[in-house]
Amino acid sequence: MNIDVIILSYAKNDVIIQMNNDCINSIINSTDVYKFNIIVVETKSNKEFTYTQEEVTVVQPKIKFGYNKFLNIALDYCKNDWILITNNDTVYEKGFIDAMIDAHNMDNEILSMSPIDDSWILQKKFDRNIPIYYGYKL
């Protein structure tokens, strides 16, 4: 199975480009089972962007940024049943996608998911040993 990944970016400097690369590499290296089609929608359109990962496609709309507008542009590049929408400052641990797919396989009516954090400060990783909580309340 392949998974589409959408990352919205405003790479105005090398620090953000490195952040994008860290996020992309963590996704690619997170599983030995799944392959990724990563779409980076870049807001900074007056610079050419290239990434060394073959999984990455860079899209540079020539319109003013709008979160939903840019997500919809990225969706046109998606071709798989699974879509991961992520921030570019997120670094994923090995097994995160496997745990998400496992959760869906336990209940295939789950159509979207995200990690839970009781403190709302740091996100917790997906873990096969943590129960599934439905909705926004525990």
Render pLDDT for 92-117 as a digit per residue (tens, 0 to 9): 889 989 988 888 888 888 878 776 55
In this prediction, residue 99 carries a pLDDT of: 87
pLDDT band at 42 (very low <50, low <70, confident <90, very high): very high
Q: What is the largest CA-CA distance in the chain?
A: 46
Per-residue pLDDT tens over the stretch 113-126 = 776 555 544 444 55
In the predicted structure, residue 61 carries a pLDDT above the cut 60: yes
Q: Please provide the average confidence, as pLDDT, over all residues in the chain.
A: 84
Separation of alpha carbons 74 and 61, rounded Å: 10
Of 16-25, 45-54, 98-107, the range with the lowest mean pLDDT is: 45-54
In this prediction, residue 33 carries a pLDDT of: 94
Sheet holding 56-59, edge to edge: 56-59, 35-42, 2-9, 82-86
